[in-house]
Amino acid sequence: MNNILKIRVVLDVVEDVFRDIEIEADAPLLHLHAATLDAFGWEGMELASFFESNEEWDKGEEIPLMAMPELEGQTARYMETVTVGELLPTLASRAVYVYDFLRMWCFYVEPLEWGEAVAGEGYPRLVMEFGVAPALESKAPEGVNDADLLAAL
């Protein structure tokens, strides 16, 4: 039974920065959200969403951090109710993760391989780091330029 998914999470910045995370397929997306922030060394104090995606990294259906009011006839889909395996059911699946809707940090999420859990290991777990993650505050909020930031200091 392949119940562990190795996922590559790539931060959309100029330099190559990514992390590989192993996580249970039946874990809620909330766990991948927390593991991603931890892997990049960021505190999890802002809103975030996963988006189903395709090969072109277009944003599809949104899966927000918190429950949103349901529209008539729709079921609640948010990070506690959707699993990693539901978001990424095959190795061809893709997702976009957006953290901090003011700064709009964007990550590209893709599955690398399915595997078995290793006895005695805790999941999710960081299995590879590449590149240095920027400081969370290093990106200006959308609509705010560097001059505004300097003036605020």
Question: What average pLDDT does range 7-26 have in this prediction?
Answer: 97
To the nearest whole number, what is the mean pLDDT of the chain? Answer: 89
Predicted pLDDT at 149: 46
Task: Please report, to the nearest 10 degrees, the dihedral formed by the alpha carbons of residues 68, 72, 61, 76 taken in order.
Answer: 50
Q: Given 3-state DSSP classes, what are the helix, strand and coil percentages for the chain, each rounded to the nearest 5?
A: 15, 30, 50
Taking a C-beta distance cutoff of 8 angstroms, is the pair 3, 24 a contact? yes
More confident residue, 38 or 150: 38
Q: How far apart are CA 108 and CA 96, in angstroms?
A: 5
**What are the pLDDT digits (tens) for 91-126?**
999 999 999 999 999 999 999 999 999 999 999 999
**What are the pLDDT digits (tens) for 83-92?**
999 999 999 9
Pick from 11, 12, 13, 38: which is nearest to 23 by CA? 38
Q: Is the whole model's pTM more than 0.85, yes or no?
A: yes
- Examine the pLDDT at 68 and tell me if it is beyond 90: no
**What are the pLDDT digits (tens) for 119-144?**
999 999 999 999 999 999 888 887 65
